[in-house]
Structure 1
Amino acid sequence: MVEIETLEGPVPVIAYIDERLSTTAVCLASAYGARHDPAPECGLAHVLEHVLMSAPVDTVPSFSEHVERLGGHANAETGPDRMLFYAQTHPDDAEEISALLYQAVLQPRLNGETLAREKRAVLQELAAAAADPSDVVQDDFLTDLYPGHPLGRPVGGTAATVERMDEVSVAAGHTERLLSAPLTAVVVGPRMPATIDALKAGVGPDVLARSGTASQEPVPLPEPGPVLAPRWPSEFAWVCAGARSVPYAHPHRPHFNVLAQLLGSSPSSLLYRRLRGDAGLAYAFQAWNRGYADTGAWRLLAGVEPGNGDAALAVIRGTLEQLASDGPTREDLASARRQAQMNIMTSVDSPLECARFLAMRADRHGTWSPSAALESVRAVESHHIRQAAAHVLEGFRVVVSPRAS
């Protein structure tokens, strides 16, 4: 497996170069995320993400449109801990796209017309999410898991906070938060599109000098709220169940990732055989683990028909209890480990997914590598699963959407 190389500088560049690749992906990652927005400006990072990808840059209407006209793909995403801006393109276009990406993100031409248009798009996005109980239940779960904390707020903000945003607040968010947070660039392709200096063409040293100057100490975590029994509606419902886990850099994170595979949607998972195969209580469900800078969230999402909620939860809890007591069988553990490793390998195999994968781990670029990640999963043993399952059970809580009337 090709390993990563880090080129140091004001904006470190993580390079994953494999001459067998036929496209190049470039990603610019900022360690500014939704959790860093002040409560009255909840969703500012998300709005800024939209604006930066859609505002005019250099001589083209927008970064996104120009990339797509060249046959490539461009997008961006905002999470609790970071923002990603990326494009996948032909290697011959990669040098131009890399320079445009830096300009679009670091030296945007903000204007009221673009902001008004993108605010409308964000409001439509929020409305669509609010109409989907499977989205609502995940936001409600994090609110219940982190009450009164930035991690418990919706990443996209609310209609009220988005409506209040203007050019001044968005420009301040860009200067005071995005530019001052640590920045990292990621390049995945058959060759480097340019030298570091050329990659930063058109971006002044005063802009780059701000990177990493802000202090982003996490807000102390509150105690979770009381655990309440779920109230089931008289219609199809989505249930989100789980608990806090560990931060993304914690050595036990692979244990929770493998536990998620044991209770995931694959026909090879233990919960699939019990919940869907034996009991027939859920058709759609998945489990996953997300790590943040100072904590994590292990979650299971399942859709249940009226009258099946308590029975489905009993199977889920019973499976966790057995894993906490006895651990998985050798065959189930081997299967779950292979699934977790495949998630890493398939991410690395796609240039764009590999760039996103590396960007999400940008602040560990000095020690992280695909082979090390695979080895950490390979090292997960039965007693690790017992401990992870017991940890989830200790903080286990359940949220249902839609709520019972």
Structure 2
Amino acid sequence: MAPENDHAAAARDSSRAAARVSPASVTTVDDTTDTVRRSDLPGGVRLVTETVPGVRSVALGIWIGIGSVDETPEQAGAAHFLEHLLFKGTRRRTAAGIAEEMDAVGGELNAFTAKEHTCYYAHVLDTDVALAVDVLADVVTDAELAHTDVELERGVVLEEISMRDDDPEDLLGDMFDETLFGDHPLGRPVIGSEDSIRAMSRDTLHSFWRGEYTAPRMVVAAAGNLDHDHVAELVAAALDRAAQGHTGARPVPPRTATGARPVRTGALGLLDDDSEQAHMMLGVPTAGRAGRGLPVLAVLNSALGGGLSSRLFQQVREQRGLAYQVYSSTVRYADAGALSVYAGCAPERLGEVVAVVRDVLAEVAADGLTEAEVVRARGALRGGLVLGCEDTASRMNRLGRAELDHGRQRSLADSLARIDAVTPAEVAALAGELLAQPLTAAVVGPYGDVDDLPAALRDLA
């Protein structure tokens, strides 16, 4: 039986949903532009939209506040496995049908899984927003999860794990998390393990999907040439089935810390790999999202290793030529975060690289940054933030993450003001607090044993 025309279905149901979306539920988030608006929809679903003048597209995502940290060890990799499976067909659409509908309008359809959330998204012309809403809602809430598809995608996920294992930099990131966060769920790779994926049953995946992908955990974010009220009607109609079991439910609030401190400072992880380069990650734990000083940490990270003028890039690459790639980065989760430095170099030069990195971190911990470094870092962050909002997909991502992580939206002007307010004294205080901690390291390279590593790393073990 051919599926019902999706454009017609969305149009038919929108009038029924309109009565349930009260204008009083719409909140203007950014009073300076009136472009970002938020609504609570039936069943606890949240909708956040941003109108972007002058574009002809809409980026739309259904975000679920569930990721790999919500899995048991037996479920490791389930959220990512589901990301593959939900596109394999619904009761109304085959996998080929889904692809054909999106290709017919030149749209993009994809998904990604992270440690604390999952997002299914589409990027379409503004005239095709009803189709995007209908397809995404169908995939997320009404997939079939057929046994044959589970077996088919099991092989695909195992191939993806093999690809990760062949990429030392990707493998290093997972190893660093495992070394720093230990047995905490943050220490497990999002993709799962070969053993966990081979053992994953269809029943386990179905139970995880139905138990976790609930309406109160969903955020629909959209940015582009759109009308908020129209999108609200479309989303309420498309997610009507998911909302029915949650009448009167409130949205699940942002994830909070569990109270545990899931970090192991001063640990060293090593994976012997017959590669041409040694790949090293060195770092320290930071506070989670609820901790203070996010803009200060961003400035510190930018000045340390965020650009061509950063200390690490200048000291490691420009002045000594020890590595082609060196940078620092930060992550922040509900329970904890990390500030880390990555470098890839010839195996025989790893000791020099580690020594220089440790010296730079020690200098910044002791003396902070110069005023010129702070000014440059603030400017780099301002530019990156504004340029990162130039396309609708980036704006949609900003909306979805903010709603899930913080339960609120921060205007671009407010974010820029917070960056501008960071002082050298604040950066020095945070650097002294963070960088004085024992360092944690992970290495992927041709080293058979910890004893084969340079002394600058061995003393961390």
Shift of the alpha carbon at 1:116?
A: 2.1
> In structure 1, what is the equivalent of residue 125 of structure 2?
90
Distance 1:78 1:233 in 2: 27
CA contact (8 A) 1:246 1:296 kept: yes
CA contact (8 A) 2:172 2:443 kept: yes
CA contact (8 A) 1:57 1:100 kept: no
Unmatched segments (≥5 aa) in structure 2: 1-31, 449-461
Distance 1:142 1:229 in 2: 10
Moved more, 83-92 or 257-266: 257-266
User: Of the candidates 305, 312, 317, which is equivalent to residue 276 of structure 1?
Assistant: 317
User: Of the candidates 121, 125, 141, which is equivalent to residue 160 of structure 2?
Assistant: 125
Distance 2:325 2:265 in 1: 28
Change (3 A) 1:129 1:77: same
| Structure 1 residues 335-385: Cα deviation after superposition (integer angstroms, max 9, x where no partner) | 111222223222221111211122122232435232222222222211222
Shift of the alpha carbon at 1:86?
A: 0.7
Distance 2:113 2:203 in 1: 20
Distance 1:380 1:213 in 2: 32
| Structure 1 residues 83-120: Cα deviation after superposition (integer angstroms, max 9, x where no partner) | 11111110000112112211211222221232222222
Matched AA of 1:110:
L
Change (3 A) 1:272 1:222: closer
> In structure 2, what is the equivalent of residue 77 of structure 1?
112
Distance 1:186 1:295 in 2: 26
CA contact (8 A) 2:45 2:251 kept: no
Matched AA of 2:194:
A
Moved more, 185-194 or 42-51: 185-194
Change (3 A) 1:201 1:232: closer
Moved more, 211-220 or 361-370: 211-220
Question: Percent identity over the alignment?
Answer: 21
Do structure 1's residue 8 and structure 2's residue 43 form an aligned pair?
A: no
> In structure 2, what is the equivalent of residue 402 of structure 1?
445
CA contact (8 A) 1:248 1:290 kept: no
Shift of the alpha carbon at 1:21?
A: 1.9
Aligned to 1:84, what secondary structure does the other structure show? strand
| Structure 1 residues 272-315: Cα deviation after superposition (integer angstroms, max 9, x where no partner) | 11111111111112221111112111121110112211211222
Change (3 A) 1:163 1:290: same
TM-score, normalised via structure 1 length: 0.92
User: Of the candidates 82, 85, 92, which is equivalent to residue 58 of structure 1?
Assistant: 92
TM-score, normalised via structure 2 length: 0.81
> In structure 2, what is the equivalent of residue 201 of structure 1?
237
Distance 2:251 2:206 in 1: 18
Moved more, 48-57 or 222-231: 222-231
Unmatched segments (≥5 aa) in structure 1: none
User: Of the candidates 189, 206, 209, which is equivalent to residue 224 of structure 2?
Assistant: 189
> In structure 1, what is the equivalent of residue 9 of structure 2?
none
Do structure 1's residue 251 and structure 2's residue 292 form an aligned pair?
A: yes
- Taking the TM superposition and a 5 Å limit, the aligned residue runs for 1:228-247 are 228=268, 235-247=276-288
- Taking the TM superposition and a 5 Å limit, the aligned residue runs for 1:132-171 are 132-171=167-206
Distance 1:273 1:249 in 2: 33
Distance 1:215 1:268 in 2: 36
Matched AA of 1:384:
E
Do structure 1's residue 393 and structure 2's residue 436 form an aligned pair?
A: yes
Shift of the alpha carbon at 1:196?
A: 1.7
Change (3 A) 1:53 1:344: farther
Please, what is the CA RMSD of the aligned residues?
Answer: 2.6
> In structure 2, what is the equivalent of residue 44 of structure 1?
78
Matched AA of 1:227:
A
Aligned to 1:248, what secondary structure does the other structure show? coil
Aligned to 1:200, what secondary structure does the other structure show? helix
